[in-house]
């Protein structure tokens, strides 16, 4: 499910019950059309707020390619450290994720 900052649903994909959500993240974002006050709809969002289930390097690279800022908490499992600068996590921005969580409720 993809929604805007106000909790208005924009797009959803239906998948099998045992399928992982991360497999459908990129197709969901590719088909998005974000309304704007004027002009044509935008194709990409500026911020991508997601839960720990979407913490995958492929999704983060997708966000980098389209200049989106991913706000995804890191999973708690141990990983090998990646070379380069660590990814920053915007905790105040992550608090806005509850809008999406309330949309489901």
Q: Report residue 105's pLDDT band, with 50, 70 and 90 as the boundaries.
A: low
Res 79: pLDDT: 67
Our CA angle for 12, 48, 25, nearest 5°, is 40
| Contact indicator for 21, 43 with CB cutoff of 8 Å | no
Q: Look at residue 78 in the predicted model and tell me its pLDDT.
A: 64
The pTM (predicted TM-score) of the whole model is 0.77
d(Cα 38, Cα 65) in Å, to the nearest integer? 25
Residue 20 CB neighbour total at 10 angstroms: 12
46 contacts 69 by C-beta, under 8 angstroms: yes
Q: What is the pLDDT of residues 2-50, one digit of tens each?
A: 888 888 888 888 888 888 888 889 999 998 888 888 888 888 888 888 8
């Amino acid at each position: 499910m993809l929604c805007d900052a106000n909790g208005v649903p924009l797009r959803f994909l239906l998948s099998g019950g045992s399928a992982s959500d991360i497999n459908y993240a990129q197709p969901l974002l590719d088909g998005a059309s974000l309304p704007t006050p004027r002009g044509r709809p935008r194709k990409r969002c500026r911020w991508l707020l997601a839960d720990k289930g979407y913490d995958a390097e492929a999704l983060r690279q997708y966000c980098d390619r389209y200049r989106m800022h991913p706000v995804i908490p890191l999973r708690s499992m141990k990983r090998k450290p990646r070379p380069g600068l660590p990814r920053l996590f915007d905790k105040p921005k992550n608090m806005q994720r509850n809008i999406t969580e309330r949309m489901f409720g």
